[in-house]
Amino acid sequence: MVKTKKLREPLEDRKGSLFFDGVSVKELAQKYDTPLYVVSEKRIRDNYNRIYDALIRNYKYVRLYYAAKANSNLAVLKILQSQGAYLDTVSPGEVFMGLLSGYTQDRIMFTGTSVRNDELKVLADANVTINIDSQSELDRLLKIAVPPIVSVRINPEIGAGHHSHCITAGPDSKFGLWAEEAIQAYAIAKRARVERFGIHMHIGSGILEVEPYVLAIDKLLSIAKRIHEEVGIEFEFIDIGGGFGVPYKPEDKEFDLLEFANKVVAPFKAKVAEYGLGKPFLCIEPGRYLVCDASILLTEVNTVKVTPSKKFIGVDAGFNTLVRPTMYGSYHPILVANKLGVANKETYDVVGPICESGDALAKDREMPAIEEGDLLAVLNAGAYGFSMSSQYNSRPRAAEVLIRQGKSFLIREREQLNNLTANQRAAD
């Protein structure tokens, strides 16, 4: 359990009770029930400003594309749109959500993989920037329409990430084109009379070290130089992807934005000048970094079970609500929201209601003595929390609330049992 003395905004200890962005989480649970995702608007804005200010210091032309897959709630999308963010999407659905949230077509980029023809038609009609992931995708797109701008996703052969499933570059990755393929793709696009170009890479997610970016960007820029010289095109933007990690475990360090600015952004500026690449926009795609610590998951204890070998805390949130611990073995800090000042005395597994042994939010956690009715707050739940949730075991999905200036607003209604049968039809 995270010690209360280390609580940082938007978390606050008020006489042993947890407040989130100035609001009592106990009162939120009583008003909206649990499990409940709680989102801080202020924290999202602060995170955006922090990363933007760090990057703009060393290079004037910067665009932040929010990776919508981290959290695609309309309220979250609108907050970041109002901050000036662009939008990184991976499906026509996310493009639809972006347009609905006020992003203009020129501020949306689609980076998909295994893209269907009908999806390409939707994207071409929407006139968003398409980031090509394969030669096949480019060939099929050009038969549908010749877009005004095309980008190609490069595999720089260097990958990194907090889990093998989150590494998106390197020899085993399904994503992107390798250098020789990419050169051919740009030549084909130019012959098809595409007029504007970008170039893109993404090496992974949950990265806490700067060094992988240093190596990968150096490789990307060398490829961009070859394309510029051999194909004769200018790049409107160079997108280096996202993947900035956040500290989940107590021993994790924060991603060093100043080091990133000095070791990546400043050399980027020098290299593009040296290579004659003009003044392209430097695009970065933070997702987790912007929303992760801006949300918590509230879940109530309904069962305390003691066996000869374990003590279990049964809560009403399972891997249908937050799948990361089961899928990735991920660690999420957990606070007993109504007992912040109570010393840790017991070791528990925190388990959910799903009928599988893998349904655990935490294992072997030291906590105060837990009673049924206690309220737990699972921290760092804003990224890939609700967006990866499901109706598994026929359980309706959780509600979401937004905290803005000390007030709470329901931004997603809790699903009810009748939502489970939506769009189903019984055969005659």
- What whole-number distance in Å separates Cα of residue 306 and Cα of residue 328? 27
- For residues 252 and 208, the answer to whether their CB atoms sit within 8 Å is yes
pLDDT bracket for residue 204 (50, 70, 90)? confident
Above pLDDT 70, what percent of the chain?
94
DSSP annotation of 412 reads: E
The pairs formed by 254-259 with CB atoms below 8 angstroms and a separation of 24 or more are: 254/208, 255/207, 255/208, 255/210, 255/289, 256/210, 257/50, 257/51, 257/54, 257/55, 258/54, 259/210
Instruction: Count other C-beta atoms under 10 Å from residue 289's C-beta.
Output: 27
Mean pLDDT of all residues belonging to the chain: 93
Torsion, Cα 324 164 349 38, to 10 degrees, reads -20
Domain ranges of the chain: 4-40+292-421, 112-286
Encode pLDDT of 334-349 as tens digits. 999 999 989 999 999 9
pTM of the shown model: 0.93
The residue ranking higher by pLDDT, 221 or 178, is: 221
Active site residue 355: yes
pLDDT at position 206: 79
Closest CA to 101 of 75, 65, 122: 75
Q: Which two tokens stand for residue 61?
A: 């032309």
- For residues 242 and 205, the answer to whether their CB atoms sit within 8 Å is yes
4-40+292-421 belongs to CATH 3.40.50.720: no
Residue with tokens 């957990």: 334
Q: 4-40+292-421 and 112-286 share one CATH topology?
A: no
pLDDT bracket for residue 322 (50, 70, 90)? very high
Instruction: Please compute the mean of the pLDDT values over residues 210-228 and round it to a whole number.
Output: 91
pLDDT at position 1: 42
Question: One of 166, 283, 292, 355 is an active-site residue; which one?
Answer: 355
Encode pLDDT of 89-132 as tens digits. 999 999 999 999 999 999 999 998 999 999 999 999 999 999 99
CATH number assigned to the domain with residue range 112-286, chosen from the 4 options 3.90.1150.10, 3.20.20.10, 3.40.50.620, 1.10.3720.10: 3.20.20.10
Encode pLDDT of 248-303 as tens digits. 999 999 999 999 999 999 999 999 999 999 999 999 999 999 999 999 999 999 99
- What whole-number distance in Å separates Cα of residue 242 and Cα of residue 69? 12
* DSSP β-ladder status, 86-89 and 108-111: parallel
Q: Calculate the alpha carbon distances from 415 to 25, 203, 243, 364, 395 in Å.
A: 21, 36, 31, 31, 9
Least confident of 56-60, 174-178, 234-238, 415-419: 174-178
- What whole-number distance in Å separates Cα of residue 31 and Cα of residue 427? 40
Encode pLDDT of 369-414 as tens digits. 999 999 999 999 999 999 999 999 999 999 999 999 999 999 999 9
Encode pLDDT of 348-360 as tens digits. 999 999 999 999 9
pLDDT at position 3: 45
Task: Decide if pLDDT at 225 tops 80.
Answer: yes
pLDDT at position 161: 52
pLDDT bracket for residue 158 (50, 70, 90)? low
- For residues 226 and 179, the answer to whether their CB atoms sit within 8 Å is yes
Instruction: Please compute the mean of the pLDDT values over residues 194-212 and round it to a whole number.
Output: 88
